[in-house]
A and B are shown apart, each in its own frame.
Chain A
């Protein structure tokens, strides 16, 4: 049985056009993985950043995992939501991030995107608000299925992750 510690912080988002943003993240695990301790998903607060700077989430990530296989290595999936001045929440971007295999401190950046609708939907978004969202969010994770999707970039999520591993010498499929 090998152990993996993921400890770090979801620092914030930068480059998004909306000022008030929150982020929902979840750690996606394969069947061979088990959570010993810690929360695998969370919602951050809605933060308004300084002009031109990062909006702050400062949301700690601290998960202790065990696994019997290195298949389905964990991934972090993000949904960024914006809040406008009328208090409406709207999608600001999707993102996914691979957890590095190697032990150490990692500063990660996730480039977020959101789907672009047809002409009418874009017009509605411009004047009324409300953006198109994915019907099947699992498409964020899948490496196939994306060829019919049209998106545009929205911003960057910054996170810091420390990876500590223990006992992976005994697990099939990886050599250290």
Chain B
């Protein structure tokens, strides 16, 4: 349990393990650790490590739950310092991969909180992708290769407002292994 006035450190050691995603030949993931900062009541800052990491482009294998599976095995590390539990860090993923013409297109997003209690975890997060608003836009984006995406994914994913205008479709899952430690600030 965290006291509001006392700062504490959160150490995250993790690895982006695998993903399953339907109808896609290759996939890469980008991770952003998003937290609330620069507020009087709560401020988080990164002490060590990185708040971003990008995986390699993985080719597909046969999937178990959906048609294709991908392996990344990409480790990441971050040590954060927080003053309040509010604004707890979230793992925001965005995915991209080549389409049938070899153009790199956005493949979806996933978001989840870093576990709040020390321990080792395997987290599975669903990957969803914004849909085109009309049939016309769907055709244009397929031809031009400019697909619907979040302009500022870390902001759109880590907050709960402004989502009601978005239509999405779930396409797969990402699996992340995490070890979390808490310490005094």
Check if A131 is an interface residue, CB within 8 A of chain B.
Answer: no
Contact with B along A110-151 (1 / 0, CB 8 A): 000000000000000000000000000000000000000000
Check if B2 is an interface residue, CB within 8 A of chain A.
Answer: yes
Check if A100 is an interface residue, CB within 8 A of chain B.
Answer: no
Check if B153 is an interface residue, CB within 8 A of chain A.
Answer: no
Check if B170 is an interface residue, CB within 8 A of chain A.
Answer: yes
Residue of A nearest to B119 (CB): A105
Contact with B along A31-51 (1 / 0, CB 8 A): 000001111001111111110
- In the assembly, what is the distance between CA of A103 and CA of B126, in Å? 26
Say whether A50 contacts B166, CB under 8 Å: no
Chain B nearest CB, measured from A66 CB (Å)? 10
Say whether A45 contacts B168, CB under 8 Å: yes
Say whether B164 contacts A37, CB under 8 Å: no
Contact residues on A (Cβ < 8 Å of other chain), bracket: 35 or more
Check if A7 is an interface residue, CB within 8 A of chain B.
Answer: yes
Do A48 and B169 contact each other (CB < 8 Å), given the known contacts A3-B4, A37-B39, A166-B3?
A: yes
Do A61 and B160 contact each other (CB < 8 Å), given the known contacts A7-B113, A49-B170, A166-B1?
A: yes
- In the assembly, what is the distance between CA of A162 and CA of B116, in Å? 7
Say whether B2 contacts A58, CB under 8 Å: no
- In the assembly, what is the distance between CA of A46 and CA of B167, in Å? 5
Do A50 and B22 contact each other (CB < 8 Å), given the known contacts A7-B113, A58-B157?
A: yes
Which secondary structure characterizes the binding site on chain A? strand
Say whether A5 contacts B86, CB under 8 Å: yes
Do A47 and B168 contact each other (CB < 8 Å), given the known contacts A58-B157, A165-B1?
A: yes
Q: Which of B84, B130, B131 interacts with A64 by CB under 8 Å?
A: B84
Say whether B170 contacts A62, CB under 8 Å: no
- In the assembly, what is the distance between CA of A64 and CA of B157, in Å? 19
Which residues of B lie under 8 Å from residue A62 when comparing CB positions?
86-88, 160
Say whether B160 contacts A59, CB under 8 Å: yes
Q: Using CB atoms and an 8 Å cutoff, list the residues of chain B in contact with chain A.
A: 1-4, 22, 39, 41-42, 65-66, 84-88, 90, 110-113, 115-117, 125-128, 130-131, 157-161, 163-172
Known: A37-B42, A60-B111. 18 other contacts (CB 8 A): A9-B112, A22-B164, A42-B163, A44-B160, A45-B167, A47-B170, A48-B167, A48-B170, A53-B170, A55-B170, A60-B113, A62-B160, A103-B1, A162-B113, A162-B116, A164-B2, A164-B85, A165-B1
